Amino acid sequence: MATIRQEISFGATTNASGLRSAASGATATSQHMVNLDTTKFNGATYYFEIVADTSVSISSTVTLRRSGTSTDDATCSIPTLTTAPTLIRSSSFTPPAGATDYVFFITSGVGGTTIVFAARIIVIQNASITDTETQIELGPDHIVNGVSTSSATFVTGADPKYWKYTSANWDGTITAFFEVVWACVSTKVTATAELQVADGTGDGFAGFAAVGSDLTLTSTTITRTRSAAVTLTAGRNYRVVYKTSNSKTAVTLYNARMVIDQTASPTKIEAQYLLNGCIFSAGTGLQKTITKWDSTEWSGVTNTYTFCCDAANGSTSVIEADTAAGTQITGSVVTSPDNQGFSSSMTMPSNGNLDCKATTNNSDIAGARILVACVITLGDVTVTPTGSSATFSIGTPMISGGAAFTITGSSATFSSGTVTVTPRIDVFPTGSAGTFSIGTPTITGGATVSPTGSAATFSSGSPVISGSAAVSPTGNFATFSSGTVTVTIGGDVTVSLTGLLGTFSIGTPTITGGASVFPTGSQAVFSIGTVTVTGTGGSTFLPRLTLLGAG
């Protein structure tokens, strides 16, 4: 079980006009657009979040609206006295199943103007993560009315963004796309957008060439267009460029993004907190496009946080991430971000809002984000003795028994010895089903095992193996771990207990008494009593405790 945070950003801007504004008593619909696909996130709870203010003390609302409709799925209410940029998060909302394009919709109170500087959907996944999606903003300046070009050759637009694919920060099954939100000024021209990758020479921002197929548009309606899957190259920098077919008629770009889908139970992701998506405001003050930092939105993970800034070629500016109160976050300083720069590992502060600023501002800083290199961990083992049986589950194994114990990390110390819990489960199969056996075989609440290429789901009492897991005979038991599955079928094994009775044979393995049997070939290890194994001349095992569980 883990908790992770993802965001899907409309954009974030320090521009005085915001991403969108509405005059006194008026309404306005954002030109920036996002796509939320619920099939890409398991165990998810969704929120809508904005940074907004009003020119005078009025009450306004900003809703998350399904594009092309009047249906709102979430609401952020802006109270009176919100005359400085303020972060507001909605209550949780339930989106339609599947994919939905969203805009945001402003209803301004009478007497003043309402301005939205940043808007995003927050996705909190609390589950054994099987699927997730990361969206990385790569567009030109996030400003009202977008960024237009009349160039008939590819350009990046004002103040471009870059993304570096660090393959060590991703796993599972990865499928990558790029998408743009754009419009043509006239239907007489064709807009073209292209994902490009650098060739890895020089400073890493040279020799850009096309990746996959270009996207095209002839509509004057603001449209979100996503590519087919593209192949990524580790360690390379990516950007999005666009052009018009006729230099006399412009095309406008509002958003450009990389979209990374991960399936097959990923354990590594690179999420982000977008702090600013446009040229920094002049001076050395806070940018005010704040984001919310809440450490409880992450659990069962080990995270490394890095501050990343986009800037002009050869920039000598200096940028840092701060708390909303203006205190520098340790490790966040980026010096001379030549096209793009990264800080060292950050030490995240106490929970609260985060911001950023330039301490040396050469008016060439194009954007800022916090990158989160997240590694999902299994967490500590829990041991709970009850009677004389043991119940195991993935993630939180429980041991039942009559011995006293203490827990240190993944080791359980018992009164009669030290037991180490390893990420493994032993299954005694009968045909296509099997039971877990320690004393009285029992499983409560169910357990899930994720093998390579498939998943095996175990139900209470008689776990059934489903999927297409590989089978490898090694004795008469099945060993499951988080990455592989082995179902074993071995020769006859006869076991005689001292004080307890039990037999083990092919087809219907059974255990009588209060002990566990883990046979390998013609030998067996018992958790209770002295064990004599016959079949290869016989062997005697002295009493000891053995625990094979899931960490």
Q: Where are the domains of the chain?
A: 1-129, 405-541
Assigned token pair, 335: 């010096």
Assigned token pair, 149: 């070009």
Assigned token pair, 152: 């008939």
State which H helix or E strand residue 99 sits in: strand 99-107
- What confidence tier does 11 reach under pLDDT thresholds 50, 70, 90? very high
What's the chain's average pLDDT? 77
Is pTM, for the whole model, over 0.95? no
For residues 447-455, average pLDDT? 30
For residues 162-177, average pLDDT? 97
Per-residue pLDDT reduced to its tens digit, 178-203: 999 999 999 999 999 999 999 999 99
pLDDT computed for residue 346 by the predictor: 98
pLDDT computed for residue 498 by the predictor: 34
HEC letters along 212-235: EEEEEECCCCCEEEECCCECCCCC
Tell me: pLDDT of 173 over 50: yes
pLDDT computed for residue 404 by the predictor: 52
3-state secondary structure of 296: helix
Please check whether residue 504 is in contact with residue 493, taking contact to mean a CB–CB distance below 8 angstroms: yes
- What confidence tier does 476 reach under pLDDT thresholds 50, 70, 90? very low
Per-residue pLDDT reduced to its tens digit, 496-517: 333 323 333 333 333 333 334 4
For residues 377-394, average pLDDT? 42
- Beta-sheet pairing, 60-66 with 72-78: antiparallel
Q: How many CB atoms lie within 10 A of CB 171?
A: 16
Per-residue pLDDT reduced to its tens digit, 16-48: 999 999 999 999 999 999 999 999 999 999 999
For every residue of 173-189, DSSP letters joined together read EEEEEEEEEEEES-TTS
CA–CA gap between residue 395 and residue 301 (Å, rounded): 13
Closest Cα to residue 180, out of 271, 251, 272, 117?
251
Please check whether residue 6 is in contact with residue 134, taking contact to mean a CB–CB distance below 8 angstroms: yes
pLDDT computed for residue 416 by the predictor: 46
Per-residue pLDDT reduced to its tens digit, 456-472: 333 222 333 333 333 23
Local structure of residue 295 (DSSP, 8 states): G
Closest Cα to residue 482, out of 459, 452, 447, 526?
452
- Give the amino acid at 216: T
- Give the amino acid at 305: Y
pLDDT computed for residue 157 by the predictor: 84
CA–CA gap between residue 118 and residue 420 (Å, rounded): 49
Q: How many CB atoms lie within 10 A of CB 387?
A: 11
Q: How far is CA 546 from CA 400, 424, 447, in A?
A: 13, 12, 21
For residues 351-361, average pLDDT? 98
β-bridge partners, 243? 192
- Give the amino acid at 36: L
For residues 333-354, average pLDDT? 97
Tell me: pLDDT of 381 over 90: no
Burial 271-280 (b: 16+ CB within 10 A, else e): bbbbbbbbbb
Mean pLDDT check: name the lowest of 26-30, 64-68, 405-409, 546-550.
Answer: 546-550
Mean pLDDT check: name the lowest of 95-99, 149-153, 386-390, 466-470.
Answer: 466-470
pLDDT computed for residue 492 by the predictor: 31
* Residue 5 burial by Cβ neighbours in a 10 Å radius (0-12, 13-18, 19+): buried
Closest Cα to residue 531, out of 551, 505, 511, 548?
511
Please check whether residue 158 is in contact with residue 180, taking contact to mean a CB–CB distance below 8 angstroms: no
Q: Architecture of 1-129 per CATH? A: Sandwich (2.60)
For residues 274-283, average pLDDT? 95
CA–CA gap between residue 336 and residue 318 (Å, rounded): 6
Residues 6+ apart with CB under 8 A from 310: 159, 160, 161, 162, 337, 339, 340, 365, 366, 367, 368
Per-residue pLDDT reduced to its tens digit, 245-256: 999 999 999 999
Local structure of residue 388 (DSSP, 8 states): T
- What confidence tier does 379 reach under pLDDT thresholds 50, 70, 90? very low
Taking the mean position of all CA atoms in its chain, how far away is CA 27?
Answer: 34
Percent of the chain residues past pLDDT 70, beyond the cut: 68
CA–CA gap between residue 107 and residue 255 (Å, rounded): 23
3-state secondary structure of 200: coil
CA–CA gap between residue 551 and residue 548 (Å, rounded): 10
143-147, 229-233, 489-493: which has the highest mean pLDDT?
A: 229-233
Q: How far is CA 214 from CA 146, 149, 187, 335, in A?
A: 20, 17, 18, 35
Local structure of residue 159 (DSSP, 8 states): S
pLDDT computed for residue 438 by the predictor: 27
pLDDT computed for residue 9 by the predictor: 98
- What confidence tier does 406 reach under pLDDT thresholds 50, 70, 90? low
Residues 6+ apart with CB under 8 A from 388: 400, 401, 402, 439, 440, 514
Tell me: pLDDT of 297 over 80: yes
pLDDT computed for residue 378 by the predictor: 55
- Tracing tokens 């992701």 back to the chain, one arrives at 269
- Give the amino acid at 282: A
Local structure of residue 386 (DSSP, 8 states): B
Tell me: pLDDT of 225 over 70: yes
